[in-house]
């Protein structure tokens, strides 16, 4: 999965012959699971049709502030478009548009959106050789980079004029690769290895039955996605769950029992920078597992249980450089019980959720947490989606390891 997966890309197209390549550019972004909206300058429609780009992006194409053909004259809100975007890409970026960007000229919808941008702005120049080398263009490029905009350098090749030289817009695949590399280089967990456990464990009674719990694995999988999107290499050790994940930075290791999860965690822990154990591991397992299915009869069935290995405590005993985070799901004396667990297991932080809080706990799409660090400093959060909760958790971890 690309770091552009799930990203909202606002593509600005200006009036250069290289605009014909934007069909391929949109297609590449969509294939990487990005969401794309397009703003065209009015003159750029002479080079490629809005219909083509709308069909490929699966979104309306914007060009003017008002849809004049609409009797209601619906306003295209440039601020809303700019705030929607995670990434703004202007390609091709003509000398005319670049000059306007550098000097704050705002005479079309694209420039208005650019001036309202809060997200990173990438621009890929496209113009003839002499225009690209002109001192005013060089000054413009320096000014735009000084504003924090990111230049995707033009390449050398045959130009529309017939000349051969610098000024050719980078190819769509190279533009996408440039943005991916740039985003990745700025991610806070780039180069870090993160271990996350998720889901329940199943402890066999016989070949058919098991002892388990109601954990869905949703929280652990959201943590894995967030870590990967922050640039980490993720080892996701998960018990049985229907949750799915598709990210090139995530290695999924499927286990069933607490013993299997214990072995997997110890296999990878020495190389890990951050470990978050969010799995709901069974505390007990049957002392003896029947080889055949236990037949039902009128007599009561007694199963002798024995404790499972405490994975979190075992990692706490051997941790060196690792930042170790546990989870505590409590029903009473929540803070006290969480603090005891934090200290007894030698954790750097613990994430507390209470079954007393509506919307928190197993099999929900939301969670309400309090994070307690090893100094017993506490930070509580409102009820949020588990995706948002995972971001809160990593924000706190990054702040502490930075």
Q: 353 catalytic, yes or no? A: no
H helical segments located in 186-285: 218-229, 258-268
Cβ count near 247 (within 10 Å): 19
**Two tokens at 303?**
């199963």
Give the 3-state secondary structure of residue 269.
helix
E strands, 233-336, in order: 233-238, 250-254, 274-277, 284-286, 305-307, 323-330
Would the CA dihedral through 61, 66, 67, 73 be positive or negative? positive
- CA quadruple 359, 6, 193, 348: dihedral sign: negative
Q: Which of 329, 332, 324, 341 is nearest to 376 (CA)?
A: 341
Residue 88 and residue 121: Cα distance in Å, rounded? 5
Considering only CA atoms, give the Rg of the chain.
27
Domains of the chain: 8-185 (3.40.50.1950), 193-401 (3.40.50.10300)
Which tokens go with 40? 């065209």
DSSP bridge pairs for 351: 327, 371
165 CB burial (10 A radius; 0-12, 13-18, 19+): middle
CB 94 within 8 A of CB 126: yes
- Say how far apart CA 336 and CA 304 lie, in whole Å: 30
Question: What's the CA gap between 201 and 284, in Å, rounded?
Answer: 10
Contacts of 341 (CB under 8 A, 6+ apart): 326, 328, 347, 350
Per-residue pLDDT of the chain (402 residues; tens, 9 = 90+): 678 888 999 999 999 999 999 999 999 999 999 999 999 999 999 999 999 999 999 999 999 887 766 555 567 889 999 999 999 999 999 999 999 999 999 999 999 999 999 999 999 999 988 899 999 999 999 999 999 999 999 998 877 777 787 888 999 999 999 999 999 899 999 999 999 999 999 999 999 999 999 899 999 999 999 999 999 999 999 999 999 998 889 999 999 999 999 999 999 999 999 999 999 999 999 999 999 998 888 778 889 999 999 999 999 999 999 999 999 987 788 899 999 999 999 999 999 987 776 766 666 788 899 999 999 999 999 999 999 999 999 999 999 998
Catalytic residue among 76, 213, 346, 395: 213
Q: Is the Cα torsion angle 119, 120, 126, 131 positive or negative in sign?
A: positive
The residue with tokens 């055949």 is 292
Three-state SS string over 169-204 comes to: CCCHHHHHHHHHHHHHHCCCCCCCEEEEEECECCEE
- Tell me how far apart the alpha carbons of residues 3 and 8 are, in angstroms, rounded to a whole number: 11
pLDDT of residue 398: 97
Least Cα distance to 327 among 266, 279, 398 occurs for 279
Return the pLDDT at 68. Answer: 65
Q: What is the pLDDT of residue 262?
A: 98
CA–CA distance, 127 with 196 (Å, rounded to integer): 49
What are the angstrom distances between the C-alpha of 373 and each of 219, 232, 244, 325?
A: 19, 22, 30, 9
């Amino acid at each position: 999965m690309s770091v552009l997966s799930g990203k909202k890309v606002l593509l600005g197209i200006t009036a250069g012959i290289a605009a014909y390549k934007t069909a391929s550019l949109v297609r590449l972004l969509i294939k990487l699971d990005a969401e794309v909206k397009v703003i065209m300058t009015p003159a750029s429609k002479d080079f490629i049709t809005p219909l083509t780009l709308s069909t490929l992006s699966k979104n309306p194409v914007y060009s003017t502030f008002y849809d004049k053909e609409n009797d209601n004259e619906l306003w295209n809100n440039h601020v809303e478009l700019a705030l929607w975007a995670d990434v703004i890409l202007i390609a091709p970026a003509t000398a005319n548009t670049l000059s306007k960007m550098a000097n704050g000229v705002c005479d079309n919808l694209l420039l208005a959106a650019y001036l309202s941008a809060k997200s990173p702005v990438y621009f890929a120049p496209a113009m003839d050789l002499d225009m690209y080398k002109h001192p005013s263009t060089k000054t413009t490029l320096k000014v735009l980079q000084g504003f924090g905009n990111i230049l995707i350098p033009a390449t050398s090749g045959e130009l529309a004029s017939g000349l051969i030289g610098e000024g050719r817009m980078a190819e769509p695949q190279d533009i996408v690769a440039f943005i991916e590399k740039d985003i990745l280089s700025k991610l806070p967990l780039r180069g870090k290895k993160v271990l996350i456990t998720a889901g329940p464990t199943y402890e066999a009674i016989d070949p058919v039955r098991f002892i388990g719990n109601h954990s869905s694995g949703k929280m652990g999988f959201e943590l894995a996605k967030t870590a990967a999107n922050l640039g980490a290499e993720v080892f996701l050790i998960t018990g049985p769950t229907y949750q799915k994940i598709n990210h090139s930075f995530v290695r999924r290791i499927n286990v069933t029992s607490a013993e299997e999860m214990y072995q997997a965690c110890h296999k990878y822990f020495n190389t890990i920078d951050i470990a978050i154990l969010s799995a709901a591991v069974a505390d007990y397992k049957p002392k003896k597992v029947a080889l055949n299915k236990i037949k039902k009869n009128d007599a009561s069935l007694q199963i002798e249980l024995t404790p499972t290995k405490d994975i979190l405590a075992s990692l706490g005993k051997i941790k060196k450089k690792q930042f170790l985070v546990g989870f505590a799901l409590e029903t009473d004396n929540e803070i006290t019980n969480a603090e005891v667990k934090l200290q007894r297991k030698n954790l750097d932080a613990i994430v507390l959720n209470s079954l007393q809080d509506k919307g928190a706990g197993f099999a929900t799409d939301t969670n309400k947490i309090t994070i307690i660090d090893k100094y017993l400093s506490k930070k509580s959060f409102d009820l949020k989606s588990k995706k948002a909760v995972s971001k809160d958790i990593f924000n706190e971890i990054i702040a502490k390891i930075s």
